[in-house]
Amino acid sequence: MKIKVCGITREEDIAKLIELKVNYIGFNLLDISKRKVSISWTLAMIEKYKLQNKAVLLIDYKNTSHRNIYSDLDLIFQIYHFEPEPNNVKRLFLPRNATLLKQFKSADFNQNKKHKYLFDNMDGALGGTGIKFNHDILKNMKDKNFMIAGGLAYEDLHFLKENKLWGVDLNSKFEITPGVKDHNKLEKLRTFL
């Protein structure tokens, strides 16, 4: 199971995640986020720590300054407010509301091999609510070639791995305060990496 830790705002947290060998590290550039970081700091950290294959940038297509980012950089993006799907992006984590999981068919998850769907509880927000949705829905699904987010704690990971989920996006339950990761909680991830 792939592990993405999102909402990174501090260099010491990046160093910890590299030590743990997490699969993806998320940088939030959304103006509305409590964990927003600047593009210049993000790019400096990607360069310094050689994160080109594991950095995921959360951007908003409505923000015109963000549009240049994904067309100029060869990174992974999680883009909100886009229609249609940008075709000049190497890899996308396509954010969707978890309520859509009941409507998706196996073929939907494999439509585009380079992109992955990321399902989150988006009730009243773009995501990042820290509210878990009912994971029992995953038990009867045949194809779980996607990532989920939304209030995931360490205790949820065993169930998700046993149910052969492709990946998880971790954030608020691994923090002391927004943007400050709890290294003791992160350390527990070693059993899944």
SS3 labels along 108-163:
HHCCCCCCEEEEECCCCCCCCCCCCCCHHHHCCCCCCCCEECCCCCHHHHHHHHHC
Task: Write out pLDDT tens, residues 84-141.
Answer: 666 667 788 888 888 888 787 766 766 666 788 899 887 655 656 677 888 888 888 8
CATH number of the domain bearing residue 134: 3.20.20.70
pLDDT band for 2, please (50, 70, 90 cuts). Answer: very high
Rounded to two decimals, the pTM is 0.91
* Rounded (to 5) percent helix, strand, coil in the chain: 35, 25, 45
Is there a contact between 58 and 29 (Cβ–Cβ < 8 Å)? Answer: yes
Overall domain count for the chain: 1
Query: Which pLDDT value is given to residue 148?
Result: 94
Containing domain of residue 60, as a range? 2-192
Place of tokens 């229609």: 83
